[in-house]
């Protein structure tokens, strides 16, 4: 009786699933899903290659310094870099004195507490300090940026799908909305059209609006494309400063595993050669 009852329940659920499948398939055929406007106009990141790409990739220190300059002069007014300390800039090729000077002259002071009064105050940054945030809190950041809070850039190339090519595409992708873009999807007040942004419109105006926004000390032409590539490379470093060491360690691990595999195979042949010889003797 229990077995029959269980079979009936199983048949009921099987039939219910079949009916649901048929109804869903019919609904899909008769009323196919319509892609949202964002899917029709959104573009995938442009092709962009960096010297740090691939298992043999290494950072271009000159490009990293140029990217840091773009961050300092263009991005730092709104975007924080809270996981990076000034002293980490030595990895970009700056010496100790240059790092101390960069920290001391940073336009945003480091928050501190006055030891005499116990009240909040500020002081010039030290090499050991992390980069100070441009806004005291998210409320202040939103109030200054059309209620949009600028994200921290420390791990931005890891946090965004597409990585550095996405950042590069976003920085160089600002344009007028196409004529066929529906009115409901056009940028409203304080918004800017960019097909590389997931919902097409973002509050951040084009940060690199034209050529020569910075003056590179190495003589490189500061075009929009060049500045976007340089700051994207710098943000790759900020997200993974130990990338070169990881690549080197990876090759060492591969070499170790290769040698270990060869030794294991030779040991296998040696051990089983004796076993096979004994087996043949017994069979003989």
Same domain, 259 and 284: yes
Residue 33 has pLDDT above 90, yes or no: no
Sequence length of the chain is 284
Same domain, 199 and 248: no
Same domain, 235 and 248: no
DSSP-derived secondary structure for 219-267 = -----HHHHHHHHHHHHHHHH-TTHHHHHHHHHHHHHHHHHHHHHHHHH
Residue 192's SS3 state is strand
- Residue 276: the pLDDT is 67
**pLDDT tens for each residue of 80-94:** 999 999 999 999 999
| 6 belongs to a structural domain | yes
d(C-alpha 13, C-alpha 273), whole Å: 59
| 7 belongs to a structural domain | yes
| 121 belongs to a structural domain | no
CATH number of the domain bearing residue 134: 1.10.760.10
Question: φ and ψ at 219, to 5 degrees?
Answer: 85, 0
Question: φ and ψ at 190, to 5 degrees?
Answer: 80, 5
Q: Which domain does 268 fall in, by range?
A: 244-284
Same domain, 138 and 218: yes
| 284 belongs to a structural domain | yes
If one counts the domains in the chain, the total is: 3
**pLDDT tens for each residue of 98-115:** 999 999 999 999 988 877
| 274 belongs to a structural domain | yes
Among 44, 38, 45, CA closest to 200? 38
Same domain, 237 and 252: no
**Mean pLDDT value across residues 48-60:** 93
- Residue 125: the pLDDT is 94
| 125 belongs to a structural domain | no
- Residue 270: the pLDDT is 82
Residue 147 has pLDDT above 90, yes or no: no
Residues 41, 47 contacting (CB under 8 angstroms)? no
Higher pLDDT, 36 or 193: 193
| 103 belongs to a structural domain | no
- Residue 215: the pLDDT is 95
Same domain, 186 and 264: no
Same domain, 59 and 145: yes
């Amino acid at each position: 009786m229990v077995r029959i009852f269980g079979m009936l329940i199983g048949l009921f659920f099987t039939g219910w699933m079949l009916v649901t499948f048929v109804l869903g398939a019919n609904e899909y055929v008769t009323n196919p899903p319509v892609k949202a406007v964002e899917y029709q106009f959104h573009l995938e990141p442009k092709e962009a290659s960096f010297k740090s790409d691939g298992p043999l990739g290494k950072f271009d220190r000159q490009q990293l310094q140029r990217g840091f300059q773009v961050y300092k002069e263009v991005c730092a007014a709104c975007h924080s870099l809270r996981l990076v300390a000034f002293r980490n800039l030595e990895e970009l090729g700056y010496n100790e004195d240059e790092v101390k000077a960069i920290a001391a002259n940073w336009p945003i002071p480091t928050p501190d507490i006055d030891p005499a009064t116990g009240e909040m105050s500020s002081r010039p940054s030290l090499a050991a300090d992390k980069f100070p945030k441009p806004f005291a809190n998210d409320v202040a950041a939103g109030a200054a940026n059309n209620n949009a809070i600028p994200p921290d850039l420390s791990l931005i190339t890891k946090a965004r799908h597409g990585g550095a090519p996405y950042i590069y595409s976003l920085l160089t992708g600002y344009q007028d909305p196409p004529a066929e873009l529906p009115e409901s999807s056009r940028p409203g007040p304080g918004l800017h059209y960019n097909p590389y942004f997931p919902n097409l419109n973002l509050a951040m105006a084009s940060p690199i609006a034209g050529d020569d926004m910075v003056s590179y000390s190495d003589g490189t032409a500061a075009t929009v494309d060049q500045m976007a590539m340089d700051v994207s490379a710098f943000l790759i470093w900020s997200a993974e400063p130990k990338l070169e060491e990881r690549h080197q360690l990876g090759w060492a691990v591969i070499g170790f595993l290769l040698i270990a595999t060869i030794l294991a195979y030779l040991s296998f042949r040696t051990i089983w050669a004796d076993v096979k010889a004994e087996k043949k003797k017994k069979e003989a």
